[in-house]
Structure 1
């Protein structure tokens, strides 16, 4: 038989089908992939505190809403303001949807500012959804005699903090630069729990963390007068703290005010769950829809309410857009933020 171009194409097609057939046979549905698996929830914080509590609550319930109902185990990976966890998820963890994470909400902006030790692009993560926004507060022991933010502009206040990339350090540092406060940050504490113990031991005057962390770890401090709240970091006053000024209320320079608003965009990222870059689209979609369903699960809601944790959700798609917007700030605005951003 004469070998023609048609014969060549036919042979190539048969070969292609033969090669593709085993792969088609091995293709898995999302349910088949997740069935019987154990996933990891990497938490960029030490045990204790609201970030850990939120991440563990998601780990406890998300699998119930994923096809295949996999188990999810929490893995604490603190360090570098959660950069250790973020770099792990981006560069070491499998890109198959078996590793989730909760990291510092400031990291997308940190990346734009050129912070050291960031080996990823935040927009490359697949953002699954947000459980709650992230109002932060700075507070001190009432015994210090520092009662208001104006007092902190006159008196040095020692704050126990973790790493420079965490909001516990970023927000007070920015306040020093823009509002003239005298916060002295002592870094190296593993998390909010250890920082609060440092306050009780007299090693520090105060701490800066999320309001949710205070409500979770020391709810008695909200009512017994043990601490004074000096400032809250959000665009609006939180209902629990109607008499405590926001950071934006204390900034008068227009350029600084614009920079502070950009910085407080981390409040919008909040307590968010993500997975690695490169995860197949069908698994990302399944994770996002399972996350949405979990937010309406009475058992999940009850677990958060028991710990006095708020729910103010955002979908994975909207969260992905918020993170992408962090890269759209003007060079002039980024330069101003960078000038006040802690990097050591």
Structure 2
């Protein structure tokens, strides 16, 4: 027989311990918020954007900085600062190596840089597992497009003719994506580098290049909505693991790939797509400030004023929490070595330029 009196005593004890733990957790959260409020009150946060003005990273980051301050305890003023260079590496390295670690500096990074240390890029002077991830505003699934006047109608056409695509630098995703597609599908994309963030899109309008392969659909939504409205561009391939809802008829790269290990390598690389618009603290920031910033980010994503501003910009937030980001990165960095090696061939790390001897 079951001793119901004893069971009742056990249940009561368990319930009491749960309540105590819950109250302790709530008390800790309250203490964190109060400590963060005392720290941030009257202070300023510098928010580093590792791209030039006018691009997708800039648009998303400035949208966030306009609203995040209302939800950080103490309501510090947030100042956005662009730090472009080396396809996001300059700003990201600075955030890891140089930036103050007192909670008064945060920033964005390019999602494609998250796997660079894994793939062997020695110019990436950071360990993604040591950044304090705050959150991501939305995933970012890259696509290849051509201008509406181009004779190229499908990705198959790129196998039979050279198609010029613009990029800022050879280490960025708008350079590496077309080169990866060339390796996997035998296409003939020719990458033209050296443009500024806005200049690479102007090059398409001017006819200097045929298109761009490696920017996300939402970048065009934020930076060139008139191109979409007036049907100025034609999407011919999507490089992510799943289709953007606005491009249901544009094929996925992985659907053309037959080799199973190459598919697994693409899945390792896809962590960057899911983390799309990532925001972070440098490593070493006090945990109570990280907790406060993560909570503030989550609250911002539900803020009616933020959502109205995002709607005005035609941006649809689909956030990921900082904890979920950290878990996804740990999983990617735990991939089998042979799969990582294939991923590194498909997405070769940049080779640092050698300094000329005097």
**What's the CA shift string for 1:133-155, capped at 9, x where partnerless?**
00111111122211111111111
Please tell me whether residue 206 in structure 1 is matched to residue 211 in structure 2: yes
**What's the CA shift string for 1:205-258, capped at 9, x where partnerless?**
111311111112222222433221111122121110011011111212222211
Q: Any conservation in 2 of the 1:134–1:269 contact (CA below 8 Å)?
A: yes
Residues of 1 paired with 2:345 and 2:241: CA distance? 21
Q: Any conservation in 1 of the 2:135–2:294 contact (CA below 8 Å)?
A: yes
The aligned counterpart of 1:229 is 235
- Secondary structure at the counterpart of residue 285 of structure 2: coil
Residue among 196, 200, 213 paired with 1:195: 200
**What's the CA shift string for 1:57-115, capped at 9, x where partnerless?**
11111110011100111111111120101110011110011111111112221110111
Residue among 319, 339, 342 paired with 2:345: 339
**What's the CA shift string for 1:35-56, capped at 9, x where partnerless?**
1111111111111122111100
**What's the CA shift string for 1:177-225, capped at 9, x where partnerless?**
111111111122221x221101112221111311111112222222433
The aligned counterpart of 1:284 is 290
- Secondary structure at the counterpart of residue 323 of structure 2: helix
Residues of 1 paired with 2:322 and 2:79: CA distance? 21
Q: Any conservation in 2 of the 1:135–1:211 contact (CA below 8 Å)?
A: yes
Residue among 275, 290, 299 paired with 1:269: 275
- Counting only pairs closer than 5 Å after superposition, residues 48-127 of structure 1 correspond to structure 2 as 48-127=54-133
Residues of 2 paired with 1:97 and 1:170: CA distance? 33
Residues of 2 paired with 1:74 and 1:119: CA distance? 23
Q: Any conservation in 1 of the 2:50–2:90 contact (CA below 8 Å)?
A: yes
| Structure 1: 5+ residue stretches without partners | 1-27
The aligned counterpart of 1:5 is none
Q: Any conservation in 2 of the 1:108–1:326 contact (CA below 8 Å)?
A: no
Per-residue deviation, 1:307: 0.9
**What's the CA shift string for 1:286-314, capped at 9, x where partnerless?**
00001111111011111111111121111
RMSD: 1.4
The aligned counterpart of 1:312 is 318
Q: Any conservation in 2 of the 1:81–1:163 contact (CA below 8 Å)?
A: yes
- Secondary structure at the counterpart of residue 123 of structure 1: coil
Residue correspondences, number? 316
